Structure 1
Amino acid sequence: MLRFDPFGDVDTLARGLLGAQQTGSTRTPRFMPMDLYKLDDHYVLTADLPGVDPGSVDLNVDNGVLTVSAQRTAHSDEGVQWLTSERFYGTYRRQLTLGDGIDAAGISARYDNGVLSVTIPVAEKAKPRRIAIEHSDSQQSIEATTG
């Protein structure tokens, strides 16, 4: 499992440096905090998405790339006098390149209390296995000689 988003971090940095960061201004999320670990025969990805509408969370696999995206909708600014506006809204997106040993058809996900949990199973062909060694019925002896 590799992280794949070569230009995402540069894009995020550029938007932060070049965009208006005034109180009450339109701001997009800077990142989606994520953990990834292996447990037994599967990987587990957890991503923090507080305040995101569960219906906006999208998870798809295309050509070996897992894409997670979600949307947090902004509150109406109409009649509001902002004192502090630090929460980001807009579209979150992360991509991961899946290795050949992943069972993409078996990926499952759950969204609870602002945390997305994705289970990514290891493909049967990639799991470690014990190979049986056949033994012949006849016994052979090997003699060693020293010169």
Structure 2
Amino acid sequence: MLRFDPFSDLDALTRGLLTNQTGSTRTPRFMPMDLCKIDDHYVLTADLPGVDPGSVDVDVDNGTLTISAHRTARSDDSAQWLANERFFGSYRRQLALGEGIDTGAISATYENGVLTVTIPVAERAKPRKIEVSHTGKQRSIEPTTVDSE
């Protein structure tokens, strides 16, 4: 079933002007992701459908988390494309990490086209209760008067 979209030509023209795309070469422009905090760690999930798990790379350098991946294009030259909307090429996303992150304990998994990165909060940055110490002896404060001369 074919659908008519009166704005498809305008969308293609705008996309071409804004992204410097030429011909049919199409590269991804963004990596959709979610980021939330659960208890004492952050969880980042990024959609990377069709990406070879071996091409996914997650690294931390100087307080910056970098995620990169690559999806190869189909090389079927004999195909007559009726629609060709899926992106291929390299994906890359960078996030600045705060001071309170335990970069040595960051972990990542890739399942069913979704990358999940667990980013733990460092022990020194976790909230903690400060105990207030006091002596058992109570002392009363005596009022003093100031003579004005």
Q: Secondary structure of the equivalent of 1:99?
A: coil
Paired with 1:132 and 1:67, the residues of 2 have a C-alpha distance of 39
Q: Normalised by the size of structure 2, how large is the TM-score?
A: 0.81
CA change 1:37–1:15 in 2 (3 A) is farther
Shift of 1:145: 7.0
Bigger RCO (CA 8 Å, 6+ sep): 1
Render the CA deviation track for 1:23-51: whole Å, top value 9, x for unaligned.
Answer: xx221011100001111111110000001
Shift of 1:77: 3.3
What are structure 1's unaligned runs of at least 5 residues?
A: 1-12
Shift of 1:81: 1.1
Tell me whether 1:75 sits opposite 2:74 in the alignment. yes
CA RMSD in angstroms, aligned pairs only: 2.0
Q: Secondary structure of the equivalent of 1:31?
A: coil
* Number of equivalent positions: 132
* Identity across matched positions, percent: 67
Which residue does the alignment assign to 1:49?
48
Q: Which has the larger radius of gyration?
A: 2
Which residue does the alignment assign to 1:88?
87
Tell me whether 1:30 sits opposite 2:34 in the alignment. no
Q: Secondary structure of the equivalent of 1:35?
A: strand
Q: Secondary structure of the equivalent of 2:30?
A: coil
Q: Secondary structure of the equivalent of 1:55?
A: helix
Paired with 2:76 and 2:18, the residues of 1 have a C-alpha distance of 21
Shift of 1:146: 8.9
What are structure 2's unaligned runs of at least 5 residues?
A: 1-14
* Residue pairs, 1:1-147, within 5 angstroms: 16-20=18-22, 22=23, 25-144=24-143
Render the CA deviation track for 1:7-37: whole Å, top value 9, x for unaligned.
Answer: xxxxxx78854212x5xx2210111000011
Q: Secondary structure of the equivalent of 2:91?
A: strand
